[in-house]
Amino acid sequence: MSAYDQISAAIDKKQSNFIQRLREAVEIPSVSADAAFRKDVFTMISWTQKELERLGAVCEQIPNGIQKLSDGQEIPLPPVLFATLGTDKSKKTLLVYGHLDVQPAALSDGWDTDPFKLIEKDGKLYGRGSTDDKGPVMAWINAIEVMHELKIDIPVNIKFVLEGMEESGSEGLENILNAHKNSFLSDVDFTCISDNYWLGKKKPCITYGLRGICYYGVEIVVAKQDLHSGVFGGTVHDGVSDLCWLFSQLIDLHGNIKIDGLHELVAPVTPEEVELYKKIDFDVEDYKKDIAVDNLVTDDKVKVLMNRWRFPSLSLHGIEGAFHGPGAKTVIPSKITGKFSIRIVPNMEPEVVDKLVVDYLNKLWAQRNSPNKFKVHPYQGSRPWVADYNHPHFQAGAAAIKKVFGTEPDYTREGGSIPVTLTFQELTQKSVMLLPIGASDDMAHSQNEKINISNYIEGTKVLAAYLLELANVQ
């Protein structure tokens, strides 16, 4: 029986233990975007440290200073967890990145079950963080645990970098990694990140590109406090109207961004690239059905995929400060902040995008000639990333997938951002690969986030097989 076959059998046998491990992780509501849950992010990091120490890892929590919230409040940033498993100088060193924080979630958002309980139903595990990114982090721990128990040698040293601010712009992480470039990161030979998803629900993939993101708050101030619309309506100028007008000028109906100079930054598409996209296994109708959308901005497969991965997109997220509950509150909000973001691609640099966006909004505001006060605030952005998928490191990933699923993976890009990917590539100057284990319908960031039990368990096998395959990468 091959090492992989032993591992595979042992993983199947331990399925309920692995689900229990994920359950404990999901039940810690480590929401990084909400100050009220900050203590839970700390708890989640310490809990994970104990799991890694049980595997023999040497752990260190790197302090990350203070976060200054927009309201002036100061709260501690969660530390970054460094862990080292093996220091054999004859072996190469793999760096594994993951995050332990999650997006906000509440039953009242429309979840069918408590988002911070792991609910098993029809072969799926529902809960916030089940797939993004607690499931994959637990899968790494599962894989190593099984190899230890079977006394199968792991052919690489493994280092972990696990953070607690990924869903809030990875604040502080880049500084910490920069500071450890010549120490903790100096001997890293390849980096693997499992924090994205298959393109579909059946076929595994390896990912070689990510979009970056720039995020903006547009603040409009009408008065010093909210005003009764009966008493003041008709005399003060409506701030929501100003904001809506600005927001109506950002994209057209086809999703095209109207910000001057933005499209000129995008790297031109090559004919070879179009051919690559044509080969990808992707069903537009299925995609529409999954999210119950009647009409996309285009029905062309290559265009849909390129709009997701290859071109920038702008999304309007909402308004802070206005009435947002059910019912009919009759207030003119005094201060509102509209939020939007732009997913960016090569060769867009956040600083350049920020300048174009601020200039464009200032130009619009001058046109608007409103008596209200206006401010635009760029949040910390992250750059896009594209790698060479012909590198032997990627081939090790592909071989692992073939071992578990009997099929070659698709090579994909992602529309989301994992800001740290580019940081690892730049600091280590070595190959970084994204090896997803979740499925396309896992609904990360949304209501009813889940991971399929099969993805979680077969994903654990892929990560173990990948560790074995790394023996062959020189």
Q: Footprint of a copy of itself on residues 283-322 (CB under 8 A)? A: 287, 291-298, 304, 307-308, 311-322
CA atoms within 13 A on the CB side of 8: 16
Residue in 77, 94, 95, 250 binding a copy of itself, rule: CB under 8 A: 250
189 contacts a copy of itself (rule: CB under 8 A):
no
| Smallest distance from a copy of itself to CB 400, Å | 24
Single residue of 86, 415, 419, 459 touching a copy of itself by CB under 8 A: 415
The Cα 186–Cα 84 span in angstroms is 13
408 in active site? no
Q: Is 430 in the site for a copy of itself (CB under 8 A)?
A: no
* Contact between residue 436 and residue 196 where contact means Cβ atoms under 8 Å apart: yes
Q: How far apart are CA 422 and CA 435, in angstroms?
A: 15
255 binds a copy of itself (CB under 8 A): yes
Looking only at residues 63 through 82 of this chain, which bind a copy of itself when binding is defined by CB under 8 A? 69-71
446 closest CA partner among 134, 198, 37, 129: 129
* Residues whose CB falls within 8 Å of the CB of residue 190, separated by 6 or more in sequence, listed in order: 92, 94, 95, 393, 430, 431, 432, 433, 470, 473
Residues between 126 and 155 that touch a copy of itself (CB under 8 A): none
Of 67 and 157, the one with the shorter C-beta distance to a copy of itself is 67
Q: Which of residues 192-211 bind a copy of itself (CB under 8 A)?
A: 197, 211
Closest distance of CB 241 from a copy of itself, Å: 5
- 7-66 residues in contact with a copy of itself (CB under 8 A) are 33-34
Q: How far apart are CA 159 and CA 49, in angstroms?
A: 13
CB of 350 to a copy of itself, least distance (A): 14
| Cβ atoms of 21 and 127 closer than 8 Å | no
| Marked catalytic residue, from 40, 166, 219, 242 | 166
Interface pattern 320-359 for a copy of itself (x via CB under 8 A): xxxxxxxxxxxxxx--x--x-x-x----------------
Q: Residue 4, interface with a copy of itself (CB under 8 A)? A: no
Is 166 part of the annotated catalytic residue set? Answer: yes
- Does 238 sit near a copy of itself (CB under 8 A)? yes
Report the C-alpha gap between 348 and 212 in whole angstroms: 9
Q: Which of 51, 101, 174, 458 is catalytic?
A: 101
- Active-site residue set: 101, 166
